[in-house]
Structures are given as C-alpha cells and as structure tokens.
Structure 1
Amino acid sequence: MRRSLSVPLAGLLLALVAAPALAQPPTTPVPGPRDPNQPPASAPNGPQPLAHAVGDAGTGLSVVRLGPQGVPTNTILPGLGEQLPKQSVTEFGLGLASAQVNTEAFLSTERVVTQANPFGFAVAGRSPQSPGTLVQTAIPDNPQPTNGGLPIPETPLAKLKVLNGSVHARWDEKVGPCVSPLATAKTSLAGLEVLSALPAEVPLPVKTSLISIPDTFEASSVVKLVDLPGSKNKAVESTSTMRAVSIELAGGIKIDVASPPTLTATATGDEATSKITYTAPVLKVSQNGKELGTLDAAHPALDIPLLLDLVVVKLQIAGLNEKKAAFTGTGFSGFQLGATARMLDVQVLPTDKLKLPNLPTALAQISLGEQIVRAAAPQGGVICGTSQPPQTTVPQQPGAPVAAPPKGAPPLAYTNAAYQSIPLFWTGTALLLAGVVIFAALPARRRSS
C-alpha cells in the first residue's frame, strides 16, 4: 500500500465545486531552456505511443461549508478577488476520489494519477496538507489496484465509522492509455454524521447530528477510452458516480435515494459528437413518516421548516454547469468539455429572505455528492498505436565481404581526424625533410674569439 501527503484541500475543493476549467489538468510545469535554440534535454527512446488524451474526474462524498460565500477570495493579483465569487469561511471535505489522465504531462509518473483522499479542510481558502491519501501513479504500470482503509478524522464537523479507498492507474509501454481499466479511484464510507456538535445558538428541536448516513455511501471517479462510432480511434470518457441508500436529517427528515446521479463527459475531438451526459438524482423526502415531496430535475428545491418559520432547512439538487471549447496546443489540437453537479445541498438558516447585505447565503451548507468531469481529445479521436523507431543499419558479421560502394557515389569528405590523420602525417614529414635540407645548405658561421 502506497500513501503520500495529499494536495491542499483548497485545490481539491476548487476542482470539485468551481466551474470546470477547460485546460489540461495541472501537472509539473515544463522547464524552458536557457537558449531557445538549444536541442532538447532528452528525446524519446524506442517506440512511443501515438495516443493523445486528457481527462479527469473528481467526486466528493461530503463537503461542509460554514458561512458559504462569506469572505472575499484572496488572490495574488490586485483587484482580481473582486471579480471572483466569495468563498466560505471554513470548508471541510470528506471522502474525495479523483482520477486523472494526461498524456502530455512532462513527468512520466504524472501520465495517470489516481487518489483517494480521506479528508481535508480550508479556512478562508487557505489549506494545510493532510496526510493519509491513497495514491497510485503510472508510469510504471500497476497490474493490481491499491486498496485499504483510510484514516478516520476526528472533528466536531463530522464523524464516521468506516472509510475505505481504492485507486488504480494503468499505462502500456507501447499503446500508452489504450488499456482497460485506465484510471479509477473510489471512496466509500458508512456511519457518517455531519455537524454532530451543533452550536447552542442553532435552535433545532433535538440536539443531534444535522445529517446522518447509516448505510454505505460510495463515490467513484473513472477515466477511460471508449470506442468511437464509425472509426477505429477512441474517445475520452470521464465519469463521476455516486451510490447512496438513504439520508437522515435533524427533525425527523428522511431522504431515500431512488436514483443516484451520474455525470459523464465524452470527448471525441469534434464538437458535434462530444457530449455531457447527466442523470439527475431522484430523492424522495419524508418527515416523521409523512411524504413531503420528491426532488428531481423538474423539482430541484424544497424548503422544510423545523421550528415554526425561524429555522428552515433548504434542500436542493444543484443544477448542471457545463462548458465546451475548441483548443489548439503544442501537443495536439481538438475539442474539450467539462461539467459540475451536486447530488444534494442542505442549507441551514438560509439568509436569502432577510434582505440584508454582506451576509453569507446560510449559516452552514452541506453538499453531498459533488461531481466534476473534464475530457479532451484530438481531432479525429485518440489513435491507439505505436510510432516506429528510425531504421538502423544491421551490423555485418565478422569475416563477411564488404559491399562495394555504389557507382557514382561522391567521395567521402574529410570531416574528422580519422580521415585527416594520414595526409597530415605525410605533410609533416615533407616539411621536416625540407627544413633539414635548408639548414644543411646554409653556410656555417664561425664564432668570434
């Protein structure tokens, strides 16, 4: 089992909740040469895969935000923070799974990266690194996945009993990403309680956890190559899926997951055939055995009062947010697309009815099942093949006759010391003899006494 320090949660949260950035996933930057005309530091050795593909999928089981949209976004560029949406005062993520494929990565170990992150937190956008992430990368290839239990965080924001992870990253030396499975990351938990220690100022009828998930809650992120109809090439497909049975809220509210959500991005390299596919969740809501309604694509929001009209829990399934664009890069050119979605948002004490400025949207917001997918493919699809190495001359066996040079072939140029050694030797010998003759022919001078 291989573990490493996780990346900062702020980056993971931005990847999960922000609008999909239509660019290659972040990897180690390519260092530039000091002299732009100098040859590259290294060159591919042997046959190389022809495939070009970029895709990533991220899924978060639960993200708790205290004071959502309550503080300005900090940036290193002056004035840019005013143009960006505000961020939460505090964020806590649990059970994050990400799978990433990038054939254009500078480091070979970053061609395929899969991670199962147990937890992380951020305060006003600043996040320390959290240990315990399960990671698997390729190159080299990993025939078997890495499975194991993830460390369970102890925090008043969330409690759970079981947290497991699984990651699998593959790569073929000849055809690169044209393998199955390619990149897979999964996290699963059981016995989750969110906001198990609510502050005394929250006037809930019963002092209990705001959200409880007694059954298994699973998140899966997968990136793979699929068949492209009418072509021998492949398309890039990134998929984020969730699986849950039921969710219990404070105040006797129960949510049965009749249909879990699935978000898929398929990039073929052409805008006409590339697509985003989203299966919205179907959630049946009841309170103390009484059915309150159904959350689905046609009815995305539901407000439930817990204590008269003072305390309100707002349930909503977040709408689909997608972006598409053509691109031209140094590695390849094609079409890319991405999308984000959430299975369920739970807001406690929403402030939209107060009509007061500079207030966060709610006291607390818990997102269950955050999803993001991105995919990019070259024009015509991904070519699964191998480039042929340059032809080399087969060495002759010892004692074999040497083939005569072809007629009319130009003479070899004197380009190195091997060709010039014999002419230089005879030229030097002739000059030495000429010097001896000249010295002997000169009259000898007598020394004066």
Structure 2
Amino acid sequence: MRETTPAPSRGHSGRRAMGAPPPGRSRAWGRAGADGTPPAPTSVPTPARRQSRGRLHPGAWWLWSLSLGTAATRTTNPLLLALLIATAGYVVATHRTTAPWSRSYSAFAKLALAVLLVRLAFAVVLGSPIPGTHTLVTLPEVPLPHWAQGIRLGGRVTAESLVFALYDGLRLATLLICIGAANALANPARLLKSLPGALYEMGVAVVVALTFAPNLIADVQRLRAARRLRGRPDSGIRGLLQVGLPVLEGALERSVSLAAAMDARGYGRTAEVPAPVRRTTTALTLGGLLGVCAGTYGLLTAEGGTYGLPVLFAGVVAALAGLRLGGRRSPRTRYRPDPWDMRAWLVTASGVAVAALLSLASVRDSSTLHPGVVPLTAPTLPLWPAAAVLLALLPAFVVPREPS
C-alpha cells in the first residue's frame, strides 16, 4: 500500500511546509533545500545598517577641515585663500544634509566676514606698522600720552596698510570657514560617540548639553507664546523673570530624570586600574598635550617651523598612547560604531596632502605664497600650489551623499 501524507493544516506548520518563514522570522529566511534540509537565513542588511555603511566617519571630516585650515595658515596669497574657500564650500554644498548642525556653515561664513571687516577697521583706525607711500585718506589724529607709544588713533591711511590687513584678515577668515565646514559635515553626536574610552564622561556631558539646549529654547518659546495668549507681557525684565522660573523648573526635572537614568545604567563606574598605569597615563596625556601645543605654535610661526612638526608628531603619539591606556578605566562597548574605512583614509589623506604641500611651498617659494605689499604688487597664482589645493576636492567624488 502507498503511504499517504496528511495535508498540512492552516497553522504554523502549514506555513513552514509551504516555504513561508517561521513565526518571528522575516522574508529574509531562505528556501528549504530539495533534500528537506531546514532553510538557512540570508543576511539582508537593514536600512539602518546600510545607512551606517554609507556614512563617513566624522573624524575624517574634522581631520580634512583642520588640514585645510593648517594650509591656510601657511600663505597670505589671496588667490590661494580664495581657492581654499571655494574648495571647502563646494564640498559642503554637495555633502551637507538638512540636519540642524549643517546650518552652522553660514554662521561661520558670516563670522569670517565680520572678522575681515574688523581687521580692516583696526587698520584704518589704529594704524598699521607697514610703511606706505600711497595715501588714500588722512583722518584726524588723536594725541595720546607718552606711555602709549606705537599706538595711534587716526592719521594717514595708506593702500599698503589696507592690503596687508586684507591679506592677514583673509587668512583668519579662511581658517574659520574651514572649521565651519567641519561643523557642517560631521555629525556631533556621532563624533562624540567615537571618542576614546578615556573621554567617555566628557563626551556624554557634551551630548547631554547638545540635547537639552534645544529643549530650553523650545520651552522659552512655548511659555512666551502662552503669556501672549493670556495678554501678559513676554518681554522686558519682568517678563523674562516670570518665564525663567518655569524654564528652570522644567530643566531641573529633566536633569533629575536623566541623573536617575544614567545611574541605573552604570554611568561613572570605572574599572580597577593599577597605580603605575594611572601615573603613566597621566604623564603621557599631559606631556602629549604640551607637545601638541608647542608643535602647533611652532608651525604657526616662521621661527619655529624646523622643530614644530617633530614636536607635534611626538605630542600626538604620546597623547594617543595616554588615551589608549586611559580607556582601560571605562570598559564599555559601542552600538554600531562608525567604521574607519578606505574612504575615511582617502579624505584624510587629501587634506593632509594639501597641508604638507603648501607647507613645503611656503619654505621653497615664499615670495609667491606671501606676496609683498611694499612695494605694492599684484599677487600671482602659483601653479603647483593651486593644483595641490584642488586635491581637497577628492571627498566630493569618493564620499556618497548621505540621505537627508
């Protein structure tokens, strides 16, 4: 007799027999084999995981921007500085999202313009040590006492002094715009999440501050709107005092709730570290920070260019070693950490290459990167330093744009 197999029921077993996914499984569950083997799950990345793979590490954006800022400090040529501003602006325009922190680029651009105008105003009002022969205007000069030698108010304003102030102010404005590019491109929450374990407490504090600041602004706007609807004043000292008390009360309630949640999750608890490791960590961290400060000062000055780079490199190595040892105090894990992949290396390398090539050009061909103002001459665009600046456009082609 031929054996008969009963028909599958309408329950869960029937769905499994027809190749449907078992309960609790998604459609990613594979088909059963011909020999009756159970189906194997297929790895289909979720949208959040695909988005994390497509994002660039925020530290790469900061290293790229800081390298462009370092390149800006090595020259006063307005053509090269304008090229650096255009390069950073193009990358920001193609890769920033609609997130709130992405709007900071316009604020930094306005700040850079204000710095440039203030620098020109100081050159007009307070004078400049640069001698000049092309007088533009003569302002009434205010006599100053003998102890204020070297400072004047008003007097002769020359074209040479204004051009020198323009070059100096444009260099500082370019540095601010490069920092603004980092703020517009890098997610601050993801950047703080990527901090080493030694800076975990500081990162959490900054994240909490960034999270609670919009809540305070929203509370102030809500309370002022409520007072206007009731016909009560919402401006002036009296209105601010009556609005400030509920705002502080709400902030205190949120702080207490946050403190209870952080204590329940074990915030602030550290692991036991031997005393020699703690002393070594402190020595390496402090020595590394001092080395970074001394090396940065050497790179920004013409006299310390020879020792600036070695001291900076030694300070960075010591600081990283100290942070590595200090991370033993905070045994924690990261949920979906941002990977430092090949794109992050390419973005960082493009910025570092621009800084290194412009530093080399400032040593070998200082006249083109620092055009003179006495006598007053028109600046020229050097070819290979300009080509080096264009290397900073590499992130616009190798980094995919994040979905808004």
Shorter-normalised TM range: under 0.3
Larger radius of gyration: 1
Q: Which has the higher strand share?
A: 1
**Greater RCO, 1 or 2 (C-alpha within 8 Å, sep 6+):** 2
Greater fraction helix: 2
